[in-house]
Amino acid sequence: MIQVETSRAKRLKSASHGVHEGLDKAIMAAKPFSSRETYAVFLRIQQMFHRDIAALYAAPELAALFPDLSGRRRYEQVKADLADLGAAPADETPVPRFVAGASVDLPTALGWLYVAEGSNLGAAFLSKAAAALGRDAPLRGPPHGPAPAPP
């Protein structure tokens, strides 16, 4: 008998499992923790991802669902990780995916935040690998962990 997940979160996790597994394998195949240089490349990718979604953390539509959302923004922390490493940040010439003050499509925004919070969980595991590169505070994230489910 096939068991069907009942909660939305569990259904989403189950439906996106293959994509997450493929992404994890691609990241690890690039060996981002094999040197400080490859780690800097990884951080620049993180910088651009978090730059693209930074505006979501101030969106009123999302703040109504997640009152602590503004404190979960990690863009500045990723840039600080690059600076701590002595690495230049990525070129931010392209326009971000989301722009401050613009209205957001709630399902799309929630999908992006789901990915961001998942990367926050993954960062806890990746921090151990980054520590081997001589990092004191690798992959900074919010001290309170991943976002809770909306009410």
Task: Give the CATH number for residue 88.
Answer: 1.20.910.10
Tell me: pLDDT of 32 over 80.
yes
Tell me: pLDDT of 54 over 90.
yes
pLDDT score of 145: 46
Segment 42-62 shows an average pLDDT of 94
Q: Does residue 11 belong to any structural domain of this protein? A: no
What's the pTM value of the predicted model, to 2 decimals? 0.77
Tell me: pLDDT of 135 over 80.
no
The boundaries of the domain holding residue 66 are 34-131
Q: How far apart are CA 135 and CA 128, in angstroms?
A: 10
Q: Does residue 29 belong to any structural domain of this protein? A: no
Binning pLDDT at 50, 70 and 90, where does residue 84 land?
very high
Q: Does residue 75 belong to any structural domain of this protein? A: yes
Q: Which phi-psi region, left, alpha or beta, contains residue 89 (left: φ > 0; alpha: ψ -120 to 50)?
A: beta
Please say whether the beta carbons of 113 and 62 come within 8 A: yes
Q: How far apart are CA 74 and CA 69, in angstroms?
A: 11
Q: Does residue 62 belong to any structural domain of this protein? A: yes
Segment 140-144 shows an average pLDDT of 48
Q: Does residue 144 belong to any structural domain of this protein? A: no
